[in-house]
Every structure is written in C-alpha cells, then in structure tokens.
Amino acid sequence: MQYRRLGRAGLRVSTLSLGSWVTYHNQVDVKSAAEMLAAAFDAGINFFDNAEVYAGGRSEEIMGAALRQLGWPRLNYVVSTKFFWGLDRSGEGINRKDTLNRKYLMQAIDGSLARMQLGHIDLVYCHRPDPATPVEETVRAMNDIIVQGKALYWGTSEWPADAIRAAWEVAERHGWHKPVMEQPQYHLFHRKRVEQEYARLYDECGLGLTTWSPLASGLLTGKYRAGIPEGSRGALENMAFLRDGLTDARKNAAVAALEPIAAELGGTVAQLAIAWVASNPRVSSVITGASKLSQLQDNLGALALLPKLTPEVKARIDEIAAPLAQ
C-alpha cells in the first residue's frame, strides 16, 4: 500500500480507502463490516469514510460498533464523516437538515461521535455547499469543532472551486483552521471538476482530494452491460436514480473497449478504473466500496496495475473514455 499526504496537511492516508455509502445497513451488518475492515486494514488501508446521512445514521453506528469490536489503537486509523442533509426528514426540524448553519453543525458532530463511539472524528466534511448560510458562519463553526478536539481536519464535498476558495480566504483572514480536503466524484467519465475547475486550488490552497465513485457506481465493472443484475447496487430501490446512467449504451460500449487494455495489464476493467483514478497525483485517496469480502479483494488488485499505467497506456484509455467524460 502507498500512503499520500492529505494535500498540504501532515496526515498521511492510504492510496485506496474503504467507504460505507450504500453498503452499510443496506447490505452490510456489523459482523460483515468488521470482517471487511479487518481485511482492508491488513492490506494497509488506514482510512475509512462515512457520513451522517448514510442509511439515516445507521452506517455510522455499524462502523462504530465494528471498530470497537476490532479494538485497534486510535492512532492507527483515520475515520471521516460528512454533514449537510441531517437526519430529520419530517420537515419539523428546520435547522436540522439541508444546512451548514452553526446550530446544526455543533450538534451534528456530537451525534456522529455518539453513533461511532469515538472521542474524535479525524476528517469532517461539509457534504454540500449551503448558499443560504454565510460562509463565515460555517467556517467558524468548523474551526470551533476542531478547537474543541471533536475533529482534527475539515474540508468540503462537491463544493465549487470558488466556494472552497472563499472558505479558505475567510479562515486565512481570521486565523482559523482552513479546509484542507475536498471529496469530489472522480472517475473515467467524470473528470472536469478535478482536472480543470480545482486546478488552481492544489498549489494555492494545498487542497487534497479523497475521491468517491471510482467505478461510476458500478458501471466501470462491466456488470451492467446486459441490464441491471439482481443484487447489484442498481437493483436497490433507493438507488433507482442511478439506473439510467448505469445502462447508458455508449458508456457500456466504452467499458467493453477497455477490457482488452485491462487484460493486457493483467487485471479487470474495474481494477483499471480504480488504478486510473489513483494515478492522478492530486488524489490523496481513492474511496472504494464493497458489499462483500471478495469485492474488497478485487478492488485491492488495482494496486498492481498502478505502476503499469504508463503515459502510453493512459493515452489509449483516454481515446476510449475521454469523449464521454463530463
């Protein structure tokens, strides 16, 4: 396993990490989570990603219970969570959802700490931008969460570059803790934000990336070329919004065209896709997901392909995938 600094921060995270979106509670219970966390840790993964909203808080509870069961020294692993959507979907708690106001954030961190049974969260993300809350209010709340020892670093997820820069400048002006990482979607068919929009932030602000969906929600595994297989992510009722993208004919044809390249390198298209994301030096960690141990082990196989992604190989990949990228 390789380890990379989280942007300009001193913290080092594994090149591949393990996330809980979709799988925890929906497909993975505490026993399975502990099994996969242990296997990932044994392979060198030290970063485990979560969010308050995943499975309505149950994802954090499952990860917390599994970590407690494993009993690792706290210094040996990095855990994240994300705040924005909240857990109150009844509409009654107006300050408890779809916001980054101070009241919500200061209580959200306490809720995550309780569910995960931890004394602190290493990385806390503002899960989406909130144009209705002054950026200074959000930045100050995140700074205070860190000053109180409830989190160590903070960052953003799916924020536009201008909003990240504005938050960074507010923190710089007041001497507060700055956002050090962003968590964007990044894969062969979704590139422009990472490669173009954020380009100036890497050197100017020291921004690190922990990217999600390297397999485009499973499209880049090739398993959706003949439709939606039973038991897959696309078959889950709460993932119905993904189905049109997963069955896109042009993208599935591109996946098929990538198979010979993956085979030449001794891997699968999925491993090739994960390795491609990791080959970007701006990416601190590639968040992978798995609903069973065999998927985790397959994903780890991407590490063997990483040194084989020469400029010539990447040019062949780009010829197939780049025309379909957003």
Residues known to be catalytic:
54
CA nearest 100: which of 154, 176, 147? 154
Per the structure block, which two tokens stand in for 114? 């309780």
- Render 129-150 in DSSP notation, one character per residue: --TTS-HHHHHHHHHHHHHTTS
Phi, psi of 180 (to 5 degrees): -115, -10
Beta strand spans in 142-182 (E)? 151-156, 179-182
Residues 58 and 87: beta-carbon distance below 8 Å: no
Residues of 244-257 as b/e, b for ≥16 C-beta within 10 angstroms?
Answer: eebbbeebbebbee
User: Taking the CA atoms of the chain, what radius of gyration do you get in angstroms?
Assistant: 19
